[in-house]
Chains A and B, each alone.
Chain A
Amino acid sequence: MTHRLPRSSIVTSIVVLVAAAVSIAGAQTPSSTLPRTPDGKPDLSGIWQVMNTAAWDIQDHTAQKGVPAGVGVVVGGEIPYKPEALAKKRENYANRATADPESKCYLPGVPRIMYMSYPFQIFQKPNQITMLFEYVHATRPIYTNGTQHPPGHIDWWMGDSRGRWEGDTLVVDVVHFNDQTWFDRAGNFHSEQLHLVERFTPLDRDHITYEVTVEDPKVFTAPWRMSMVLYRHREPNAQLLEYECFTFDNEFHAPVPSK
């Protein structure tokens, strides 16, 4: 990819490449069994969903009322926060019920939208992959036509996604975020300098390994990584419905009383 990326992304890319080589080697599947599009790429089309609790907390956590316990998705378990950022994370956690932007039904950003407890659908063309999400009808166009990120910085909730294929892995570079989304309900956060490299590697026709490298020099001391599995919905009548979060609660769409 010829995008103009921060210098540190070169380091990130090397880290990711090595990591991916390891993970692909560890999950060998006969690539001939994968469904493919006419241009020979793995066909990721379909309705997918995680089976994890990362949207509540991307790290190991004990159950709370309404929150299932979960094994973390952060590779190595720890997130390398800068000291002042760690303090902010703890403050976020304490205030999470109201401070989490998702509690206001805002677009949850990437990568959080990928592991919300709602299905999403992938549509695949050679030059564009479109992801549609049931949760607040979010969308992600991922341009795979060799174009670069538009010049920025641009404050977008869902960022700007540019993809390319490395063998059977879809690699997506995402920048142009605002600083208003979190990674989870536990208060893990980022700044507008968030830069993601996502890797979608099909395990077989019904499973995709989803890995994302997170980089944000304002908040973290080093890049870090999450890894999880996306599961295909096999129900013959599966389809996206709607979760229009912001229509449910009068306080949200009513004029907020100014008191």
Chain B
Amino acid sequence: MTRPLFGGVIASVVAGAMLSAGVARIAAQGPPPPPKNPPPPGWIDPRNPPKEDPNWQPPRTPDGQPTIEGQWGQASDIITYSIEDPEAERAGHTAISGQRPMVGRPIIDPVDGKIPYQPWAVKFAAFLNAEHIKPSKLEYLDPVSRGFQEGVPRINYQGAMQIQQFPGMVLITYDYHHSYRVIPLDGRPHVGKDVKLWMGDSRGHWEGNTLVVDVANNNDQTWLQIVGGFHSDAFHLVERWTPAAPDHLVYIATIDDAKVYARPWKLRVDYRRQKVDEQWESAVWEGNRTADVVLGDSKK
């Protein structure tokens, strides 16, 4: 693949955006309205999370880390189809598929729940959104639908995960696509800047009961949602994983990308402990025909 997002496409979009830069910028609005559709039982609203006991202390691992081990399932009703406005943007999809409308809007800053793109990027995001159902080119099809890894943070709201802790190391293995992240806690620097990774390069440390993870070395190929939330290779996250109660884990990521976003923004996901013991195989690439099905005719 030859950098589809940041090749000539971007150049032309930027050129177009320059002409209308003044109007493309949409000022942040107030918070999104409450869901139109009923959320599932046990839903945790990122804007109104449950008040947990502030005095609760998580148990410690033998090497002294607050423990966040276990199997965790996303409780925020987020769907990777759209994190900005899932009910509206997925309406056509749910009408056809009969699937339940999902309501989670994980972006807590800015308050309007939208990705704060730079003006030119607003236009490109709108372009990708318009393309997402019937892309005119392969590179406008969601990378995950093409069988690629989700990247961070998208993998964190895709579904469930297992967290294991070891001396000097935290390991996250995800149910979806056997993705994993190894998070060293020993203070080592990130790998060199010329190493680009689908899942980024993670370095962690504990601040009180919060695991803080710096995620760098991201490539520019992953999207935040099927409808096309994009970023550049300057994409960088600081994740904060905090156990809030015995069965409640809170994730807040601060995301920046000076090439694409107007300012840093924040995304929250809540997890509940799951009772499952094992992760079974999730083969995604093998036999994947999504690109063929979605683009078949237009590529002939």
Contacts and interface: CB of A to CB of B under 8 A. Distances in A.
Given A242-B198, A244-B148, A253-B147, A136 B285 contact: yes
A165 interface: no
Interface in A192-225: none
B138 A130 contact: no
Contacts of A132: 171, 173, 180, 182
Nearest to A106: B286
Contacts of B182: 121, 132, 239-240
A139 B180 contact: yes
A256 B292 CA distance: 6
Interface stretch (B22-30, B205-213, B248-256, B275-283): B275-283
Interface size class of B (residues with CB under 8 A): 35 or more
B110 to A, nearest CB: 32
A105 interface: yes
B188 interface: yes
Nearest to B184: A239
B166 interface: yes
Contacts of B279: 141
A248 B299 contact: no
Interface in B273-297: 278-281, 283, 285-286, 291-296
B192 to A, nearest CB: 10
Contact of B178 (A137, A253, A256): A137
Given A130-B164, A254-B138, A258-B292, A244 B278 contact: no
Nearest to B197: A242
Interface in A216-259: 237, 239-242, 244, 246-248, 250, 253-258
Interface centre among A156, A157, A246 (most CB of B within 10 A): A246
A250 B291 CA distance: 12
Given A106-B286, A123-B164, A157-B283, A255 B296 contact: yes
B283 A107 contact: yes
Nearest to B171: A123
Contacts, number: 93
A121 to B, nearest CB: 7
B191 to A, nearest CB: 7
B195 interface: yes
Interface centre among A38, A107, A128, A255 (most CB of B within 10 A): A255
A125 interface: yes
A244 B182 CA distance: 16
A9 interface: no
A157 to B, nearest CB: 5
Contacts of B195: 241
Contacts of A123: 164, 166, 169, 171
Given A105-B285, A239-B184, A247-B1, A253 B191 contact: no
A143 B278 contact: yes
Given A45-B166, A138-B178, A244-B149, A257 B291 contact: no
B232 interface: no
Instruction: Label chain A's interface by main secondary structure.
Output: loop
A157 B177 CA distance: 12
Contacts of B294: 255
Interface centre among A45, A107, A139, A240 (most CB of B within 10 A): A139
Interface in A95-126: 105-107, 121, 123, 125
A172 interface: no
A158 interface: yes
Interface in B119-171: 138, 146-149, 164, 166, 169, 171
Contacts of B148: 244, 246-247, 253
B300 interface: yes
Interface string B67-80: 00000000000000
B198 A158 contact: no
B64 interface: no
A255 B148 CA distance: 14
A157 B281 contact: yes
A253 B188 CA distance: 35
A253 B144 CA distance: 11
A151 B113 CA distance: 45
16 contacts: A45-B166, A106-B286, A107-B283, A123-B171, A132-B182, A137-B178, A137-B179, A137-B180, A139-B178, A139-B180, A156-B280, A237-B188, A246-B147, A246-B148, A256-B292, A258-B292
Interface of B: 1, 62, 138, 146-149, 164, 166, 169, 171, 173, 177-180, 182, 184, 188, 191, 195, 197-199, 221, 278-281, 283, 285-286, 291-296, 299-300
Lowest 7 A-B CB distances belong to which pairs?
A255-B292, A255-B291, A139-B178, A156-B281, A255-B295, A106-B286, A253-B146
Given A107-B283, A137-B180, 4 more contacts: A106-B283, A132-B180, A253-B147, A254-B138
